Amino acid sequence: MIMNLLCFLSARNQCWLWLLLYSFFCIKIARALIFTFQVGAVIEDGEKVCTGIADAHLGYKFAVDRMNGVSGSTPLSEQKRRGLVTQMFIKDAEGNEHRVSFNYTRVAYECAGSYLDNFALHQGLMSDLVNQTHFLFGSSPVQAGIENDIAHKARKLLYHCCVTPDAYYAQDTPYIFGAPASNSKYTLQALKSMALAGGVRKLFVFYLEDNEFTESTCLSAVQYVNDVVVHLAPDFQIVGSVKYNADKVQVPNFIEETVVEEAVRLGAEAIIGCDGERTGHIVAEALADRGVYLKSLFLTVAPARKDFVATVGPRAAENVLSAVQWHPSMGYADSFFGTSAGYTSDFEAVFGTEPSYLAAMASATVFSLAVAIKGAFERCTFTQASMDADALLFDTSAIACKDAIGQKYLGNGYDLIRKSLEVQSLETVVGRIEFNQHRRNVAKEPAITQIQSGVLECVMPLEFANKAIVMPMPAPPMEEESSQEEHIGDLPRDAFIIVVVVILGVALLLAVGVVLLLQWRIRHTSDIFSQLHVPLDQLDIIHPPERLADGSWESGKAKFCSSLVSLEPLSEIRTSASMATAQVKHRHPLSVSSKDAVCEALSLEASSSAEVSVEVLDQEDPPQSMEKQVLSSKLDMGVNFVHGNTLNLKPHTTPHMAYSQVLSLVWQCQRLQHPSIVPVLGASLSLPSMPPGMAVLITECQELGSLSSVMEMDDLMVLDIVKQLDVAKDIAQALAYLHTKEDPNLGAVLPNKLSGVSLNKYCRAKVHVPLTALVPDSGKITKRQSRFGWGASQASSPSRMSKQGVQEARVKGPSAGERADVLQYGLGVVDMLAPQAASQPHSEVTSGSYSELRNLSPSSSSGSAQGLGISTSQLHLLQSRHCPALIELLCQCCNLDAQQRPSFAQVFERLELHSLDIVHAAQQAPSTTPSFNPMQPPRQSADELLYDLFPAQVADALKSGRLPDPEPYPCVSLFFSDIVGYTELCSKLSPLQVMAMLHRLYMRFDQLAQELDLFKVETIGDAYMCVANLRSPQPECHAALMAAFAFGCRKAANEEFVCPSQPELGCIHIRCGIHAGPVMGAVVGTLNRRYCLFGDTVNVASRMESTSVCDKVQCSATFMQLLQQQWPEAAGTAQPQGERAIKGKGNMKTFFLYPPSKPWACGNLPLNSGRLK
């Protein structure tokens, strides 16, 4: 029982959805099922083969692994990217989809000495396999007859991937199917080309007569010559033929002396040979050894093998013809493997070798059978809630089907699949599959291949040929007699030719090198762009970026490559080509005194091309809000003050650039690798709901959001001094890294204090690098940047240093951009360490471009500390809470004299050095009186907290230092609840928003528990557990109290929004479960002690909740009996749900509770009697 409770508590967040689905599908019979069909083949061992058919095993395995999603096959993400089908499903008449998978078994064996021994061995293995599988796959044409007989007698479907003689299909064998083209078509195209294009007039034929495949192939050739070719070319004739059996082949030199010598003696110009791999090798080598070069040589099987050229040598193999079922150059494609080229690359990636035509045909056979299974049950309804493949195939009661005219079908599922395959018309990666009445594929044509330059090329049919056929075969070059040596100029002719060839070759090599270099650079740039640009179809957008009321943008969220990412609008950059400027007249009054204060803080800047004239009128008492408005406007425009009544305001210009230049900035940002910098994944353009021309930066999602939002939500999450110190060091370390880099050389990074800083789930700070900080100056564009289109036409950023400035910075210390960031950093850290003073106005220097901040004068306004950018109140608060070393460092960072500010490397070193002093001083500082916050409850004493967490007698024992004894409770009422759709809500909300939702909901639950004097046991995630008749004796009303509590919790949840800022998500919905019975209470462990309940009652109560439904309160029959005694009105409104299967308990009667019209009244029973007052 204890293990069951622990499993429940630890696995709740993963299991509740499946429990909900289970309870839902108990009502509905039809459900998604998984059918695993057993398939198999008997194929020779790969190292020692008799028929060379072992490649078929790789094709079967590749297709089955891909359909089952086995590790090592093509990744699902790659298949989805190419738009391919990744899984197979059976779709029944009700529209339900059921997963289809194959369990493939290969029975391997080593070849015996003779054909008869091999036949017997193959037959025995096939007889065993037919009883273990649902469907069989064929192996070689040599064993086809045996396999057909066994499959036909067992009434098992046998699907051949390799060519099988036509005679086998003419028999009445309804369970035998063949995907390859007929071998009778193998030689037809080659014979026609020999007669019409090759100039062949004498043909010689040889074949193995005791093999139906080889015999029928050559006999078809002979018949085609007599019936067709002689009419196209009357002088074309067969000058001779030799047939032999397998025993003759074993005779030494039989092929060379009988077959080859006979062909040479008869003067044959072309040979067609139908035999196995070994005989083909012998014939090719014998012809080459004799120096006989025919006009054409056609051999079955051997030339299609990968080792043919290596075995017989290039001289003997060149231009030999053969027939295959498939070649990678053939332009076939399907929805499962994609194109022939895609299939080839995927196969090679898995097995390290290119697929043969046998492997491709085997893969297509698996796909064809899966499609037949998929479409066989479209007019069927599954009558059983759970069944396996055997029931689907052979149990006629498991399915209820109708035929095409609506009549009831009386057969089983196996016959449905066979009939589905019979009428199949399917495009595959090896061509179309369409069967005739004998279940032979008649829609496919074989391909004629020829070895050219040692490679097997496709030469016919012409629509798929990647090379032209070479016929007649070229004779070896003849040696010509050398003539008298000639001279060209002073050089012999041969020497002159050599010199010219060398010069032209060197020039050609140089030209090719230049072209290749240019192509490489273009391709490299294009590859970078393709890697950085993220198409919209690869983004699963959860919620897009939203524009806020102040004109700024809130980042969105999306799923990219199964990872949660942030969508950050690049509002500071536009991809258009031009920008309009305007002149604005500012009519608001500003006092002379305030103007002078600002003029003292800002030095004179060079005026911009577009100026804004502001009239300043002298007034005695100007509105204070106007001064704040002008000061805060420096965030958006540079300000130049001159003596007089006019201020020149420099507009904050938004850089405009091409999208390729934006991607170049993204590429540079990606190269900034640091643990405290937000990783950039790419960029996207034209995101829905975004303004035209605004790109979106895709970055790693930071779970806790921005640092400023975390500081604002201090009622939910408070950063103590340790976390604050970690955040400050993370930011300093990241900025020290950024400002020490020379490529790219960055300007100011922090836009406004710490607004560009986010926190991850470990509460570690990460800095967002704005792309505008990477915009290059016109005078210092690197070679890498020039490849992306940067030129002198781009406006240089005022925040960047010249090349001379970089060299000076190495001598003088931090750059101007780093000093500006140090000021923003100091102001932000002060706000974080002194939050109570953050709401008070800073000095006027709080924001703006660093070109303004670097020119601040040491003087200050009346509200600031002397020479500092922070207020006097903040400085006093820092002095009262923190150590002198930290205060001195922050004062140097906020110094209005930029030359007095330290570098970030120095900031980080000093924070590391004084870490212990900083933490110790903050922890020892006297706590200040916090401002009143209605969302925070008043502080509790230790005793109050102890009596809240434990029953009175347990709390008393713990206070006295004793471990309380376990205490039995004969009858209590237990309540469990969880939130419907909690996992989905967590994916749509930030962690802080999830915390806020649970906080609001559990506050209301806790209030109800206090009002009814119930004991809250614990909460885990979205699960809430409460008990009655435990803290205080409530034997006469604990069931009624718990029912009233459940009704109140459901009502409270339905009144609470999931997220007040996202009303479209609606309100919270919960499901509840109640049970009554005995439990044992005890304090478990010695660390983080909690009061836990144990017993079967706890397990049953949790099952009542997990099998409940949305907004329902489900209880057991035991609880219902108590409720009838204590609250008959509520028991009268209950609806019985019959018996339900409860895990570990069997079938139990359950009820749904509904609140009666008359609320329950407890009478004079004491409530809250057990609480410490």
Q: Contact at 8 Å (CB) between 677 and 736?
A: no
pLDDT in tens, 140-184: 887 888 899 999 999 999 999 888 888 888 788 899 999 999 888
Of 600-604, 972-976, 1052-1056, 1096-1100, least confident by mean pLDDT is 600-604
Say whether pLDDT at 194 is over 80: yes
- Residue 804 CA to residue 959 CA, distance in Å, equals 72
The residue count for the chain: 1173
pLDDT in tens, 690-705: 887 788 888 988 888 8
Say whether pLDDT at 717 is over 90: no
* pLDDT on residue 1119: 96
The residues with which 177 forms a beta bridge, in sequence order, are 159
How would you write 86-119 as a 3-class SS string? CCEEEECCCCCEEEEEEEEEEEEECCCCCHHHHH
Q: How many CB atoms lie within 10 A of CB 193?
A: 18
**1023: CB partners within 8 A, 6+ apart:** 9, 12, 976, 977, 978
* pLDDT on residue 292: 87
* pLDDT on residue 111: 73
pLDDT in tens, 1058-1075: 998 888 899 999 999 999
**Sorting pLDDT into bands at 50, 70 and 90, what band is 1127?**
very high
Amino acid at 384: Q
* Helix, strand counts (H, E) of the chain: 41, 43
Token couple for 810: 């190495």
Q: Is 97 exposed, middle or buried (0-12, 13-18, 19+ CB in 10 A)?
A: middle
pLDDT in tens, 96-119: 999 999 999 999 887 766 667 777
- φ, ψ (nearest 5 deg) of residue 502: -65, -45
* Mean pLDDT of all residues in 433-452: 90
Of 235-239, 523-527, 796-800, least confident by mean pLDDT is 796-800
* Mean pLDDT of all residues in 461-489: 68
Of 620-634, 644-658, 1130-1144, least confident by mean pLDDT is 620-634
Token couple for 597: 């204060």
| 504: alpha, beta or left? (left if phi > 0; alpha if psi -120 to 50) | alpha
- Residue 910 CA to residue 902 CA, distance in Å, equals 10
* pLDDT on residue 552: 73
Q: Token pair 């907004």 is at which residue?
A: 1111
End-to-end CA distance of the chain: 36
Q: How far is C-alpha 731 from the geometric centre of its chain's CA atoms?
A: 31
**Sorting pLDDT into bands at 50, 70 and 90, what band is 752?**
confident
* Mean pLDDT of all residues in 713-739: 83
**Sorting pLDDT into bands at 50, 70 and 90, what band is 715?**
low
* pLDDT on residue 153: 93
Say whether pLDDT at 933 is over 60: no
**Sorting pLDDT into bands at 50, 70 and 90, what band is 954?**
confident
Q: Token pair 């970055």 is at which residue?
A: 699
* Mean pLDDT of all residues in 1065-1093: 91
Q: What percent of the chain has pLDDT over 70?
A: 78
* pLDDT on residue 607: 33
pLDDT in tens, 763-798: 889 998 887 777 765 444 444 454 444 543 343 333
* pLDDT on residue 833: 86
Among 840, 824, 833, CA closest to 893: 824
Q: Contact at 8 Å (CB) between 280 and 298?
A: no
Q: Contact at 8 Å (CB) between 1074 and 1104?
A: yes
Question: What mean pLDDT value characterizes the chain?
Answer: 79
* pLDDT on residue 963: 78
Between residues 1026 and 478, the one the model is more confident about: 1026
Q: Contact at 8 Å (CB) between 268 and 290?
A: no
Amino acid at 575: T
Q: Contact at 8 Å (CB) between 1000 and 1044?
A: no
**Sorting pLDDT into bands at 50, 70 and 90, what band is 1123?**
very high
Among 355, 325, 432, 427, CA closest to 62: 355
Q: Token pair 């036409």 is at which residue?
A: 793
Say whether pLDDT at 1000 is over 60: yes
Of 352-366, 408-422, 805-819, 1110-1124, least confident by mean pLDDT is 805-819
How would you write 538-590 as a 3-class SS string? HEEEEECCEECCCCCEECEEEEECCEEEEEEECCCCECCCCCCCCCCCECCCC
Q: Contact at 8 Å (CB) between 766 and 676?
A: yes
Q: Contact at 8 Å (CB) between 471 and 448?
A: no
* Mean pLDDT of all residues in 1048-1055: 94
* pLDDT on residue 87: 85
* pLDDT on residue 393: 93
